């Protein structure tokens, strides 16, 4: 199952959970499953829309990242300027995060508002080929509008959680409700406990699927899977030794590798797929590409073996 199909299936499952929980809540509190859906979705939508439209500013502020000019980060600007046209993008704004932990992320709701941020550490640890692989991964996120996708996933997951909280506090404080007898209380309690947990797990699974997708799109567009594989190997090791100290663990899905821990989380609760698996998949792609080190455009797109290179 490809990353796009898997993402669509996961979205369908979390949407189904939302309909189930919203309907139960609506029947329990108001005698109308539709009203329950509308209230839960409305609460989540307002909060996530604010986050969506202000995501670039909020992320830059919380990570202490500083927007820089090409003159202030010439190496980063040069590589991004080279890569952006290959993804059909205009070069996004650049930012530097003041930490020695090597990492990078992209944010912004669309191409016009996109920001690609690199830490001070990644500019020291990676060579140009590896950094090009990382930046291709981040531009793939921008191209596929992953911030929009993850905001939608967060909206549905948040709606399920808010619906569960509404009923929890209603039961706790003994609020009125004429139709409560129409919903089996055992079924309701089980749904309120399991559905929010399942929604969060699915949201994390979508995040992992988008990371695999960005790895693939970046590597294929660049024509050099090994550049990102080599970079991931260095980044995983460095981030385990020195977790990042700026920002919040809630933002871990933004980064190319999880920077907020020194040891791996259980895979179900991780925002990222296991780095060894990402590296394995990238290196399995190498036979399909011809990488020609030492040429002027060694990081540009290469054709699969046996096919002519396009200029």
Q: What is the pLDDT of residues 82-132, one digit of tens each?
A: 999 999 999 999 999 999 999 999 988 888 889 999 999 999 999 999 999
Q: What is the pTM of this model?
A: 0.74
Per-residue tokens: 159: 């709606």
Give residue for tokens 């929604």. Answer: 199
pLDDT of residue 305: 36
pLDDT of residue 302: 43
**DSSP strand pairing (115-119 vs 93-97):** parallel
pLDDT of residue 103: 96
Give residue for tokens 């991964």. Answer: 137
Maximum CA pair distance of the chain?
Answer: 75
Domain(s) labelled CATH 3.30.2010.10 in the chain stretch across: 56-145+208-288
Which CATH architecture group holds 56-145+208-288?
A: 2-Layer Sandwich (3.30)
Give the chain's residues under pLDDT 50: 176, 178-179, 181, 262-265, 291-311
**DSSP strand pairing (115-119 vs 104-107):** antiparallel
Which of 183, 159, 160, 180 lies closest to 170, judged by CA? 180
CA dihedral 52, 57, 58, 60 (to 10 degrees): 130
Cβ–Cβ under 8 Å, residues 24 and 36:
yes
Q: Is 138 one of the catalytic residues?
A: yes
Cβ–Cβ under 8 Å, residues 256 and 137:
yes
Cα 185–Cα 18–Cα 45 angle in degrees, nearest 5: 125
pLDDT of residue 184: 67
Cβ–Cβ under 8 Å, residues 109 and 115:
no
Identified catalytic residue from 27, 82, 111, 138? 138
């Amino acid at each position: 199952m490809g990353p796009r199909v898997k993402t669509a299936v996961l979205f369908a499952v979390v949407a189904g959970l939302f309909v189930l929980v919203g309907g139960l809540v609506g029947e329990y509190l108001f005698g109308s499953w539709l009203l329950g859906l509308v209230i839960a979705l409305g609460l989540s939508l307002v909060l996530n829309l604010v986050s969506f439209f202000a995501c670039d500013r909020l992320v830059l502020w919380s990570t202490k990242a500083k927007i820089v000019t090409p003159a202030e980060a010439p190496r980063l600007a040069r590589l991004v300027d080279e890569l952006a046209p290959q993804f059909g993008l205009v070069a996004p704004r650049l930012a530097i995060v003041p930490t020695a932990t090597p990492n990078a992320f992209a944010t912004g709701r669309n191409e016009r508002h996109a920001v690609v941020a690199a830490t001070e550490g990644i500019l020291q640890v990676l060579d140009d080929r590896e950094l090009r692989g990382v930046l291709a991964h981040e531009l793939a996120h921008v191209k596929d509008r992953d911030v929009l996708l993850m905001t939608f996933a967060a909206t549905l997951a948040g709606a399920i959680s808010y619906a569960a909280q509404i009923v929890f506090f209603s039961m706790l404080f003994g609020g009125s409700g004429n139709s409560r007898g129409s919903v089996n209380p055992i079924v309701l309690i089980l749904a309120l406990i399991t559905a929010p947990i399942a929604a969060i797990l699915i949201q994390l699974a979508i995040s992992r699927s988008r990371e695999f997708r960005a790895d693939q799109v970046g590597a294929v567009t660049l024509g050099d899977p090994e550049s990102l594989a080599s970079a991931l190997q260095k980044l995983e090791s460095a981030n385990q030794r020195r977790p990042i100290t700026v920002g919040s663990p809630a933002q871990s899905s933004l980064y190319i590798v999880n920077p907020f821990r020194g040891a791996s989380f259980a895979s179900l609760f991780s925002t990222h797929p296991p780095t060894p698996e990402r590296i394995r998949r990238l290196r399995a792609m190498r036979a399909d590409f011809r990488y020609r080190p030492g040429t002027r455009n060694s990081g540009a797109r290469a054709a699969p073996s046996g096919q002519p290179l396009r200029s």
